[in-house]
Amino acid sequence: MIFILNLISILIQAQKIAIIGCGIGGATLAQLLPSATVYESYYQCGGRINHVLIPGLNAVEFGATFFIKQNEYVQKQIEKRNLEIYKRDLGKLAVIKNKQIVLQKTDLDVINIVKMVYKYGLSPKRMKDITDEVLINFKSIYTFLESGQYYHNFNEFLQIIKLNDIKMNFTEFLNENEIDQQFQEEFVDAILLAIYNQKDVNTIAGLISMVAAFNDAYSIKGGNRQLIDEEKINVIHSKVDIIHRLKNGKYKIFNDQYDYVVVASLVNLDISFDNIREMNQFQYVKYQSTYVYIVAGKISQKYIGVNPEDLNTIVILDDGEVTELKQECLKCFSGWNIYKVQGRSELKLDQIFETHQIIHKKVWDAAYPQLSQNLLNTEFEYEKNFFYLNSIESLASCMEFMMIQAKNIANIIKERHNQMIHEDL
């Protein structure tokens, strides 16, 4: 009888959880906390993971594209959902600066190494050693989170992955580690611009980008959005305009009250917060816009300086602007080649292509935060039981980081919930 009474009391007091946003962060959290309600303004989940389907081709991603095999949470979801992955061929890369090829990397590793050592000395090897060490240390976060523990702020997170004493910007870090200046300008900058569309970044984002550059990249056949199991998530497709903190400590969204709220989207002027410490400040964080075009066409050899069909990735650096062209396939679309083209603003495709047709265009106004901003000391719990999941993006923005942050918040909520049940019993 006592047991039944307790059970009833637990059921009555069942904690209500709201998640705002059904991108990879919100969706991962919802999969870990199945009773949560997710509010999503778009008609489908995925957020910054999305693709177009072109007959006969793998899904062409116009948001998050790559992951590496060491991304354990992405891998876990792939295995759980029985998804198939494929390796992205990034081998043949050219960096073009002021119409001159400054770096051309072929598929043949031995030739690459000899060429790179000749040009940049030991810097590429030193950089690779640093990224290997980052990957080894990063593994500790999985052991930590899988044992049910959680970090309270990002300093603790950085301590676990042994990057806590790095507070400087990436250029300072590279100089301190004696990375050759020319290697920084021709290789590191090209990678940073290709990944984050910006080169003045913090050291964490810089190192994460270098890890990606020195390891094989993969995507999921049929689209990375399958990392999200939408059928298992309780989604309401509505845009949340305001979240109120009430006197009883609960949070009001539309007409419902919640014990926990997790904002799992970048905060901009679209959403406001009533009586929630500092959250409105995030509306003034600067974001990097990114223009993505999926194009069928023929790149101008005159413009590039070499046969573009011999290259998988072309990065054009011109007066602080960057254009990145990724070859998706050759002669696959009624005899045309397909490219993904990315830049910071509207691109002059007529100059780059001899002939072209835009298949899809997406403007991400807020692709990532501007990573030069010093936001390293940010917390992510701004009021008791109110979490801003995406504040981790001030360190670096990638699918794996969002999944790690989701797992961490799930551990916190589960522990508080268990404590409450214990107190209740």
Ligand X SMILES: Cc1cc2nc3c(=O)[nH]c(=O)nc-3n(C[C@H](O)[C@H](O)[C@H](O)COP(=O)(O)OP(=O)(O)OC[C@H]3O[C@@H](n4cnc5c(N)ncnc54)[C@H](O)[C@@H]3O)c2cc1C
- Figure out which of the listed residues 397, 404, 411, 412 binds ligand X, where binding follows CB under 6 A: 397
Query: Which range, of 111-119, 136-144, 379-387, 395-403, touches ligand X by CB under 6 A?
Result: 395-403
Query: Which range, of 61-69, 203-211, 245-253, 350-358, touches ligand X by CB under 6 A?
Result: 61-69
Say whether residue 264 binds ligand X (CB under 6 A). yes
- Strand pairing category for 85-87 and 242-245: unpaired
Distance of CA 135 to CAs 131, 140, 212, 240, 335, Å?
Answer: 6, 10, 10, 38, 41
Q: Which is nearer to ligand X, 123 or 342 (CB)?
A: 342
Binding mask 186-225 for ligand X (x = CB under 6 A): ----------------------------------------
Distance of CA 127 to CAs 95, 132, 218, Å?
Answer: 18, 9, 21
- In terms of C-beta density within 10 A (0-12 exposed, 13-18 middle, 19 or more buried), how is residue 234 classed? exposed
- Ranges of beta strands (E only) in 313-422 are 313-318, 321-333, 336-343, 353-369, 381-383, 386-388
Closest CA to 424 of 64, 63, 11: 11
3-state secondary structure of 251: strand
Residue for token pair 């997406």 = 362
Say whether residue 292 binds ligand X (CB under 6 A). yes
Say whether residue 277 binds ligand X (CB under 6 A). no
Residue 261 Cα to chain centre, angstroms: 22
Torsions phi, psi for 251 (to 5 deg)? -120, 140
- Figure out which of the listed residues 17, 18, 22, 130 binds ligand X, where binding follows CB under 6 A: 22
Kindly state the DSSP code that residue 242 receives in the 8-state scheme: E
Say whether residue 31 binds ligand X (CB under 6 A). no
State the virtual CA torsion across 16, 22, 26, 27 in degrees, nearest 10.
100
Say whether residue 138 binds ligand X (CB under 6 A). no
Q: Which is nearer to ligand X, 96 or 389 (CB)?
A: 389
Say whether residue 386 binds ligand X (CB under 6 A). no
Binding-site size for ligand X (CB under 6 A) equals 35
3-state secondary structure of 327: strand
Say whether residue 103 binds ligand X (CB under 6 A). no
338 and 322 Cβ atoms separated by less than 8 Å: no
- Figure out which of the listed residues 24, 60, 227, 325 binds ligand X, where binding follows CB under 6 A: 24
Say whether residue 25 binds ligand X (CB under 6 A). yes
Q: Which is nearer to ligand X, 22 or 59 (CB)?
A: 22
Say whether residue 42 binds ligand X (CB under 6 A). yes
Q: Which is nearer to ligand X, 73 or 333 (CB)?
A: 73
Q: Which is nearer to ligand X, 166 or 235 (CB)?
A: 235
Query: Least distance to ligand X from the beta carbon of 168, Å?
Result: 23
- Figure out which of the listed residues 29, 30, 36, 39 binds ligand X, where binding follows CB under 6 A: 39
Say whether residue 47 binds ligand X (CB under 6 A). yes
Radius of gyration of the chain (CA): 23
- Figure out which of the listed residues 21, 297, 343, 369 binds ligand X, where binding follows CB under 6 A: 21
Say whether residue 67 binds ligand X (CB under 6 A). yes
Give CA–CA dist 365/217, Å, rounded. 25
Query: Least distance to ligand X from the beta carbon of 378, Å?
Result: 15
355-380 as b/e: b if 16+ CB within 10 A:
ebeebeebebebbbbbbbeebeebeb
Q: Which is nearer to ligand X, 311 or 399 (CB)?
A: 399
Say whether residue 350 binds ligand X (CB under 6 A). no
Say whether residue 30 binds ligand X (CB under 6 A). no
- Ranges of beta strands (E only) in 82-187 are 85-87, 93-97, 100-105
- Figure out which of the listed residues 64, 207, 210, 261 binds ligand X, where binding follows CB under 6 A: 64
Say whether residue 364 binds ligand X (CB under 6 A). yes
Kindly state the DSSP code that residue 379 receives in the 8-state scheme: B
Residues that bind ligand X (CB under 6 A): 20-26, 39-42, 47-49, 63-67, 239-240, 264-266, 270-271, 290, 292, 364, 367, 390, 397-399, 402
